[in-house]
Amino acid sequence: MGPLANIFPTLPWTTLEIIMNVVASLGAIMIIYGVFLEAETKQDAVFTIGSFCLFVYALWVGNTIFSIAMGGFAIGSFIELVEIMLGRHTHSAELVEKYRHPKDS
């Protein structure tokens, strides 16, 4: 047994398993990073890519609920991103004011 056998008892992993775990990790990191982005366009782009990565992983592990959740999140983020790019996603002046001064409302 190699030195990593105690840490990772399921080694050796196949190349596909390694790739899928990397894809899932990147997807999770991107979604966490997207929460902290201020620009809505960048946030939606990062959410779309990250949720698609996790959707692929969910399909690979065969988890139906996780697949539906990540698929819905990917579609929703992508639709909002397209709306922003086409100029159809706008906020009313009232909503912007409530966002800027939440205690006044």
- Asked if residue 57 lies in contact with residue 20, where contact means CB atoms within 8 angstroms, the answer is yes
Alpha helix ranges (H) inside 1-105: 15-35, 40-61, 64-86, 93-100
Enter the pTM of the model.
0.75
- Asked if residue 37 lies in contact with residue 46, where contact means CB atoms within 8 angstroms, the answer is yes
Residue 50 lies in a domain: yes
Residue 4 lies in a domain: no
Per-residue pLDDT for 8 more than 80? no
Q: Which residue has the tokens 């909503």?
A: 95
Total domains in the fold of the chain? 1
Residue 8 lies in a domain: no
Residue 7 lies in a domain: no
Q: What is the mean pLDDT of residues 7-25?
A: 82
Residue 52 lies in a domain: yes
Name the residue range of residue 72's domain: 15-104
Residue 1 lies in a domain: no
pLDDT digits (tens, 9 = 90+) for 83-100: 988 888 777 777 667 767
Residue 44 lies in a domain: yes
Residue 41 lies in a domain: yes
